[in-house]
Amino acid sequence: MARCRYNNVLPRLNKALHWRVVTDILKHFIMPKKHRNHNGDLCYTFAWEQGGGNHVYAYSKKAAIRVARKVGAGTHDRHGKKYTKTYPLSVLTPQEESFRSVYLEELLEFDRHLRLAYSL
């Protein structure tokens, strides 16, 4: 077994455990994390079939699609709260294949491009 410079800290680890430690370090300190809200829900961006896009926070992709359908129907806001007054003329359909969880930089760029498209 090759000598590791951390022998005094980590006594003789096998290779599998060594790589597990390395990947844990990469995941927690180096790799960026997906954007989450204060409740721990992931941020999902998506496109409407009628054009445009939006983002919602949900714990899974399936839940994000469910929330987006309610938003498109005009009965709920994008945080999942029911409106006191319904808006039946507001009918939007989300594209299910366009849902994806994003990093914070991707969300900001997504919103920026939407603003630019609607400002023309």
pTM listed for this prediction: 0.69
Query: Per residue of the chain (120 residues), what is the pLDDT tens digit?
Result: 555 555 554 555 556 666 677 677 666 666 678 888 999 999 999 999 988 889 999 999 999 999 999 888 888 887 778 888 877 777 889 999 999 999 988 888 888 877 666 654
| Residue 80 burial (CB count, 10 A) | 15
